[in-house]
Amino acid sequence: MMRLATTIGDFHRFTKTPAEAVRAFEGTGFRYLDYSFYSVIYPGSPFLTGDWFREVDEAAEAAEKLGFTFVQAHSPGYNPLDPAGDHEAGMLATLRSIEACGRLGIRNLVVHSGISEQMRYPEDQDDYFLANRAYYESLFPAMERWNVNVLIENSAEENMQGKFFFMTGREMTEFLDWIGHPLLHACWDIGHANMRGANQYREICDLGRHLYALHIQDNFGTYDEHFAPLMGTVDLDAVIQGLIRIGYKGYFAFEADHMLPAARSWPHARMQTEGIAERPLASPSLELRRKAEKLLYEIGVFILTAYHCFEG
């Protein structure tokens, strides 16, 4: 049995604070949420100040008042192997996201591994493993203090442009078994796997006991579009049957935050016809996105009910 969840990042463009994003889910059907810290690193960010926890506590209060529960999270967008990166801010934000999960009762936090132009896929796996072992080991004290699982995630060649990243379930399992820490596990992004033409059933079975979370999103097999499932080419039957085969106990958690993208959203931008100055359609409204969120929930119910594994 699985429960549906989605990320508060769905409302990132429509709201100013995490608490506002939480309130936007009222009436959409969702009860379980993924707390996205992905965009907290920027000049003047409240998350990098002395009272950083205020935003987190306000989101927690909003969730409690409306009957929502945070069940997983995504760490800040930070690359620990970037030679030009602001590592003081990146590490601070990442460690605070672990603490925030502890404060919110979230057990699973996705933390991307570092990437480097000097580590190419697939030949530089050993160097990549070594560099990222050092990174994740630097997080172990916070993970242990707050009892939070950190999850590595898979990607695809189109996203990485030749740089090494975990692409397969077997690579992820090899890394996790090599590290051997009881709080380090995996999140499988089915959209990233679809960009590679992966056998989702086999990959999920390869992850097995290490699979603690999912990112459910769809695309047409080339770009990382983050559509809702059934709107692209992901083989969802293979996904669900793989999850059932391994006895997956986590949440069926969406990351379909580009269902209604703004005109300038990555990875695509809408056409900008010369001479058209006024663009009231450049970004969908909050109310329209809330209606899309209701559809997203119903899509999830349809998928899980078809396999008799939906838990409300």
Instruction: Tell me the whole-structure pTM to 2 decimals.
Output: 0.97
Element containing residue 216 per DSSP (H, E): none
Domain spans, the chain: 4-263+273-306
Q: Report the pLDDT value the prediction gives residue 265, as an integer from 0 to 100.
A: 87
Q: Say whether pLDDT at 239 is over 90.
A: yes
Q: Give yes or no for residue 51 having a pLDDT over 90.
A: yes
pLDDT at 26: 98
If one looks up domain 4-263+273-306 in CATH, what number appears? Answer: 3.20.20.150
CA distance to 90, 108, 186, 266, per residue, from 47 (Å): 11, 20, 25, 24
Residue-level pLDDT at 296: 98
User: Which pLDDT belongs to residue 278?
Assistant: 92
| Long-range CB contacts (within 8 A, 24+) of 43-51 | 45/93, 47/76, 47/93, 47/96, 48/89, 48/92, 48/93
Q: What is the mean pLDDT of the chain?
A: 97
User: At a CB cut-off of 8 Å and minimum separation 6, what does 188 contact?
Assistant: 153, 154, 169, 203, 204, 207, 211, 213, 214, 215
For residue 3, the model assigns a pLDDT of 98
Q: What percent of the chain has pLDDT over 70?
A: 100
pLDDT at 266 over 90: no
Lowest mean pLDDT, pick from 116-125, 193-202, 277-286? 277-286
How large is the average pLDDT for residues 1-24? 97
The mean per-residue pLDDT over the stretch 268-281 comes to 91
Can you tell me the mean pLDDT for 115-130? Answer: 98
Q: How many CA atoms lie within 13 A of 284 on its CB side?
A: 19
Which pLDDT band holds residue 312 (cuts at 50, 70, 90)?
confident
Per residue in 184-230, pLDDT (tens digit) is: 999 999 999 999 999 999 999 999 999 999 999 999 999 999 999 99
Q: How far apart are CA 62 and CA 212, in angstroms?
A: 26
